[in-house]
Amino acid sequence: MPLIAPPDVPQRLAELKAEAAREFADRAPPAPTLVAMPGEFSWTKLVLRVFAIEALVALPFLVLVRGSVYFYAQRGWPGWLALTAAGAATLIVVAVYGAWLARRFTGRVRFSGVVKWVALPLVLGYCSHALLYVSRTNAKTEVMEEYRATHPLLRLALSTLILANHDLLITDLARVPVDYPRMGLPVNDRTLHYRQRDGWAHAVDLRTNGQGEIANRLGQLYFHLMGFRTLRHVGTADHLHVELPLH
């Protein structure tokens, strides 16, 4: 009777281990997919983003108001010409904004169409409103009649500030000499509240009481940056005096 060779025990154990490993691999659940976690919240990035958006919104108004005062005060241009030049520059800024938005949302843009149908109506509409109208909530009743006697660049600056400060109150605009005795003040022959040689009053007074010191300081800073002269003083009451220098 022939003898049966004993099995190779180490080899058989290796085969069993390999089969067990393959079986385990087939039944094991898939490895979890690692999901990238978003970066940590950054207050710095948020503040910078908000600041950038506000700067973009403010840029057309800055070009319009500061540009007008620059052409008038530094270049010596007549008021209406200075306003027209600054308005044209503002038109370009608004048209660029409109073209960028149109391309972003539609994928195509005609710059001439944006200028004609978007930028031009916006700039003309804003300037017309600023020059011709002031709300009763932002001016005393007797002052509203004097609004159009004030220099156009001052009216433009006032209307722009009202957009940011709805509580702004204009207390005085154009004056005549007899107004001073009525206010209990000595007559001031050099005030720019009088109509000047160009036919416009060049000064305005704004209420400071009830506005809050931060709002008052920011308002004064705004007029200073736009090229106007300012003076915080007390006449009949504490107020901010703003004037457009004569050239």
Q: What share of the chain is helix, strand, coil (3-state, %, to 5)?
A: 55, 10, 35
pLDDT value at residue 45: 87
Q: Please report the sign of the dihedral spanned by the C-alpha atoms of residue 120, residue 61, residue 77, residue 128.
A: positive
- Domain ranges for the chain: 52-132, 134-247
Global confidence as pTM:
0.80
What CATH code would you report for 134-247?
A: 3.30.1380
Q: Is the pLDDT of residue 12 over 80?
A: no
Say which range, 139-148, 189-198, 201-210, 217-226, has the weakest mean pLDDT: 139-148
Burial environment of residue 22 by CB neighbours within 10 A (0 to 12, 13 to 18, 19 or more): exposed
122 within 8 A of 91, measured Cβ to Cβ: no
pLDDT value at residue 36: 47
pLDDT value at residue 196: 95
Say which range, 5-14, 52-61, 131-140, 163-172, has the weakest mean pLDDT: 5-14
Which of residues 225 and 140 earns the better pLDDT score?
225
pLDDT value at residue 197: 93
Burial environment of residue 7 by CB neighbours within 10 A (0 to 12, 13 to 18, 19 or more): exposed
151 within 8 A of 202, measured Cβ to Cβ: yes
